[in-house]
A = this chain, B = another copy of it.
Amino acid sequence: MSVAPLKNDVFLRALMRQDVAYTPTWLMRQAGRYLPEYNATRARAGSFMGLAQNPDYACEVTLQPLERYPLDAAILFSDILTVPDAMGLGLSFAQGEGPRFAHPIRDENDVAKLAVPDMSKLQYVFDAVKVIRRELDGRVPLIGFAGSPFTVACYMVEGKGSDDYRLIKSMLYARPDLLHRILEINAQTTALYLNAQIDAGAQAVMIFDSWGGVLADGLFQQFSLAYTKKVVDMLTRDREGRRVPAIVFTKGGGQWLESIAGIGCDAVGLDWTVDLAAARRRVSDSVALQGNLDPIALFGGEAAIRAEARRVMDAFGPVGHGGHIFNLGHGISQFTPPEAVAALVDEVRTYSPKYHGSNT
């Protein structure tokens, strides 16, 4: 594949803890329902999966936030549930109800039938990556992503979202062998999936462990982190003459930061409950940190947004040999006013240089 040279590599450099002139920014779920243009494209696509499975639509919505805001990275528009869908679990999105699987994994028979799917079933994702890379034309890097083996297993076992994760945790406590088997298949699949995204052009990858934080201490390490590590271990790390950095984000995982930082990833995502100053000290700048504004701070009006953004940057402090990627601590709310994002991105761009390079 012939690709345009990268014009803005601030995000990739920050992930590698290299010198940059300012703190790069992107936002989890930046291509989403808070943008009217996203809703318009989605209406044309007919459904969420219609959007995700059509490379041209996926490209269109991926690029939309970049047209509005000077963000430093694009992230593939897709969903972590494409993987279990490819495994044959029958994903659907009921109106206003979130995702559901027709064939959840509940018992020994279900687990026995589960297998690593052929990656050709996810070709639409890799095609989207290729189209997006072409259309990005080197403006900013493109992030590929997947759910963590445990997080994807939550949906596979519960069959939908859950308040208490009773079904998957019951399996964990009563039949850990079954859950380990699911997690092993998920880890193998996720590594193939992310590597195919990297082959198609993803310049960094992120693993979303959205639900690892619901596990007990000790069990998080065994049932979530160990399998995320397996994925990280299998990742292609060099493409197009550059390192492909890997970011791991466990929502609610602040207490396990040192362990997460130790699995071989380049960066750890943090939610807003974590003090970035303490987090840096705990990992001794051995990884970059991504985060961690409360997404609801975007509802506070411009002055509060700017003040809260500065509070995050001040907590990280002079970047030195660390690496900071500004982000929210969770996906942006669908109710966010688009102008709030403009204020946020502007504040990070104008305030952060004082913490970089010869300015520090």
On A, residues with C-beta under 8 Å from B are 164-166, 169-170, 172-174, 213, 215-220, 252, 254-255, 272-275, 293-297, 299-301, 304-305, 308, 311, 315, 329, 333, 335
B273 engages A217 (CB within 8 Å):
yes
A296 and B164 contacting across the interface, CB-CB below 8 Å:
yes
Given that A169-B294, A174-B304, A333-B166 are contacting pairs, would A216 and B272 also be in contact in the complex, using a CB cutoff of 8 Å?
A: yes
Given A164-B296, A165-B296, A173 and B273 touching (CB < 8 A)? no
Can you name the residue of chain B whose Cβ is closest to the Cβ of A336? B166
A299-B170 in contact (CB<8A): yes
Identify A255's interface contact among B170, B219, B273, B293, CB under 8 A.
Answer: B273
Whether A272 contacts B217 by the Cβ 8 Å rule is yes
Tell me which residues across on chain B come within 8 A of A296, comparing CB atoms.
164-166, 169-170, 173
Tell me which residues across on chain B come within 8 A of A315, comparing CB atoms.
Answer: 218
10 CB contacts below 8 A, A to B, read: A166-B299, A169-B294, A169-B296, A213-B273, A215-B273, A215-B294, A216-B272, A217-B273, A252-B252, A255-B255
| Nearest CB in chain B to that of A216: its residue | B272
Contact of A217 with B275 in the complex, beta carbons under 8 Å = yes
Tell which of B216, B333, B335 touches A294, judged by Cβ atoms closer than 8 Å: B216
Listed residue (A164, A172, A215, A217) with the most chain B CB atoms within 10 angstroms of its CB: A217
In the bound complex, CA of A335 to CA of B163 (Å): 13
